Amino acid sequence: MRRVAAWIAMGALAVVAALPLATPAPAGPGAPAEEFSAARAMSHVERVAEEPHPIGSPAIVRVRRYLTGQLRALGLDPELQTVTAPDWFGGSDRPVAVVNVLARIEGADPTGAIVLMGHYDTVPTTPGANDDAAAVATLLETGRALLAGPPLRNDVILLFTDGEEPAPRFGATAFVEQHRWAPDVGLVVNFEAVGGSGPSTLVETNGPGRALIGALADVSSQPAAWSFLTAIADGLGGSDTDFSPFRAEGIPGYHFAYLRGSPIYHTARDTPAAVSRGSLQHHGDHALALTRRFGRADLGALGPSGDASFFTVPGSLVIRYPAWWVLPLALLAAVALGAAVAGGARRGLRSGSALAAGVGVVTVLLLIAAVLTVAAWRLIIVIWPSPGVGASYLGLAVLVALSAATWFLGSRAAARRWGEPDIWFGVFAWWAGLALLTAIWLPGASYVFAWPALVGSLALLVPADGGSGPAAGVLRLVVVAGTALVLVVPALDVLFQLAQPRPGNPGSEMVDVVAFVAVMVVLVAGLVDPLVRAVAGRDGCDSRPDAAGLEQAVARGSR
């Protein structure tokens, strides 16, 4: 019964860990004028995404006229920036016009301008309700809300770019390189979507990372920001969107996107009906809050320079610290693990051969889980090449179950075959090793591994403060498992979104990324399983509330 209760508690912790992946409740049409309303924004999505409208097409002319009309209705004076580009989708030899639509909201005493950006063109295969009519609607509704409130210090430029879909990013590049307003820009905020739902997630930043993350944490009521994702984007050289030309020019800014349900990307299924009102609201909340925050600031002095490591935890709290903390934290986790191992060796609980065998067993299980998961996911998407959100999460459940089963069956078989290899140490060695490796090569992702390794190692070193043995075991279980789940669940979800099939744009698929999902599941299962068994008192586990008692419980429970 205790073991069942412990696993139910782990499930509850996983649900809590997933809270930062939720979207805000969409505001209705009667929301106060100075607030963003997804219901009001949806009216723009429906008009913009009536049909595909690639560059140079008659349909994009209709959308352009709609945008200029809406901007004039807000009391703004829109202007057009026209350049020429190859007929990318039409295949003719003649160039076509690429036309940016811009409008400027004047500030009271500007130190520069904030650009809110989204593209209004599509590929020929989709009406582009999420990619990127949702961003167009976000800009229009944000502009309306800004004009309904008190004036800001800085100027705000609403930039609706054309020609984002072809790789050269014609419209954004033309603005950065040619437009007279470009030198005024002190901050850019770009909005995109790859799927139809999910949180408006920070994909990348440029400029003083600590200052930008601090500002987002201060003003967002529901931030969705994890430095492992921005580190991946940075490692790839950026997300290759309209944000890229601004990034190349060194202009500070944010790039937000929502990712869930990406099999609709660039397909005829990307219609207004596929737009999540919660995701649209999240885009708008970020646009309005950040514009008001920086609209009152000195854009020439944004704040502390340098990068940061950061992650959102339940309660909409962004934990953040300077990037130079990353390597010392990973080293501290390794030292704490070494101290726990040394303490166990002194008490005769661990031998060198058992420790080496434990690392080897876990390594083999990770490889098996990764191979099986990739094979299973590839089979699933062959059978179901364009799954909906519910179906894709059903597939994720299968992958998680497969990876967890690899751990449970493999670790038990290893214990029966080789006696007592210290499998739990092998798990922690992997946590600590990955923390060190990522601290060196992908610093923004190191926190995912460093904190569970550190907290778990300290759980073996620090005695519980009184209480019964089972109570102390439960406390350790909750603290160690809770730390791991809060950090791993969002990373697992985002990586799974990146691994989705995208029939409308096969070049963007990264289906083999599910191998990392398998690695995370095995590491979490390996971390939690011995603690659950110790709490349950399996195989005569010693439940004494000190570190030695826990080590003996783990050692015996792994047999």
* Digit-coded pLDDT (tens) for 514-523: 999 999 999 9
What mean pLDDT do residues 293-312 have? 93
pLDDT at site 469: 58
pLDDT at site 233: 93
pLDDT in tens, 98-134: 999 999 999 999 999 999 999 999 999 999 999 999 9
pLDDT at site 464: 43
pLDDT at site 60: 97
Listing DSSP states for 453-510 in one string gives HHHHHHHHHSPP-SS-HHHHHHHHHHHHHHHHHHHHHHHHHHHHHHTS--TT-GGG--
**66-75, 323-332, 492-501, 535-544: which has the minimum mean pLDDT?**
535-544
What's the start-to-end Cα distance of the chain, in Å?
Answer: 20
Comparing CA positions, the residue from 185, 141, 186 lying closest to residue 285 is 141
**87-91, 257-261, 265-269, 481-485: which has the minimum mean pLDDT?**
87-91
- Tokens 């502390």, located at residue: 304
DSSP conformational letter for 198: S
pLDDT at site 262: 96
What mean pLDDT do residues 485-504 have? 96
pLDDT in tens, 65-79: 999 999 999 999 999
Which burial class, exposed, middle or buried, applies to 502 when counting CB atoms under 10 A from its CB (0-12, 13-18, 19+)? buried
For residue 306, give the amino acid letter: G
Interacting residues of 215 by C-beta distance below 8 A, sequence separation 6+:
290, 293, 294, 302, 303
Return d(Cα 217, Cα 487) in angstroms, integer. 17
Helix-helix angle 58-73:38-48, to 10 degrees: 150
Return d(Cα 267, Cα 137) in angstroms, integer. 20
Whether pLDDT at 348 is above 70: no
Return d(Cα 515, Cα 519) in angstroms, integer. 6
Whether pLDDT at 553 is above 70: no
- Which has more confidence, 461 or 205? 205
pLDDT at site 350: 61
* Sheet with strand 201-206: strands edge to edge: 79-85, 96-105, 155-161, 113-119, 185-193, 253-258, 201-206
Per-residue 3-state assignment (H helix, E strand, C coil) for 280-333: HHHHHHHHHHHHHHHHCCCCCCCCCCCCEEEEEECCCEEEEEEHHHHHHHHHHH
pLDDT at site 430: 95
pLDDT in tens, 418-454: 776 788 888 999 999 999 999 999 999 999 999 999 9
pLDDT at site 349: 57
What mean pLDDT do residues 302-310 have? 90
**214-223, 354-363, 399-408: which has the minimum mean pLDDT?**
354-363
- Helix or strand holding residue 103 (H, E): strand 96-105
Which burial class, exposed, middle or buried, applies to 505 when counting CB atoms under 10 A from its CB (0-12, 13-18, 19+)? middle
For residue 157, give the amino acid letter: I
Whether pLDDT at 541 is above 80: no
pLDDT at site 347: 58
Between strands 253-258 and 185-193, the pairing is parallel
Give the C-alpha distances (Å, rounded to integers) separating 79 from 75, 76, 119, 304, 406.
13, 10, 15, 35, 60
Return d(Cα 347, Cα 290) in angstroms, integer. 56
pLDDT in tens, 142-163: 999 999 999 999 999 999 999 9
pLDDT at site 346: 63
Which burial class, exposed, middle or buried, applies to 247 when counting CB atoms under 10 A from its CB (0-12, 13-18, 19+)? buried
Whether pLDDT at 468 is above 90: no
Give the C-alpha distances (Å, rounded to integers) separating 165 from 109, 123, 125, 131, 457.
36, 6, 12, 10, 48
pLDDT at site 538: 59
Percent of the chain at pLDDT exceeding 70: 92
- Tokens 């782990």, located at residue: 10
pLDDT band at 303 (very low <50, low <70, confident <90, very high): confident
For residue 40, give the amino acid letter: R
168 in Cβ contact with 85 (< 8 Å): yes
Return d(Cα 303, Cα 555) in angstroms, integer. 50
441 in Cβ contact with 327 (< 8 Å): no
**272-286, 337-351, 458-472: which has the minimum mean pLDDT?**
458-472
pLDDT at site 20: 97
pLDDT at site 544: 35
Interacting residues of 205 by C-beta distance below 8 A, sequence separation 6+:
212, 213, 230, 252, 253, 254, 255
Tokens of 8: 């139910």
Whether pLDDT at 550 is above 50: no
284-312: b (≥16 Cβ within 10 Å) or e: bbbbbbbbbbbbebebeebeeeebbbbbb
Tokens of 435: 């923390």
297 in Cβ contact with 154 (< 8 Å): yes
Percent of the chain at pLDDT exceeding 90: 77
462 in Cβ contact with 545 (< 8 Å): no
Residue-averaged pLDDT of the chain: 91
pLDDT band at 312 (very low <50, low <70, confident <90, very high): very high
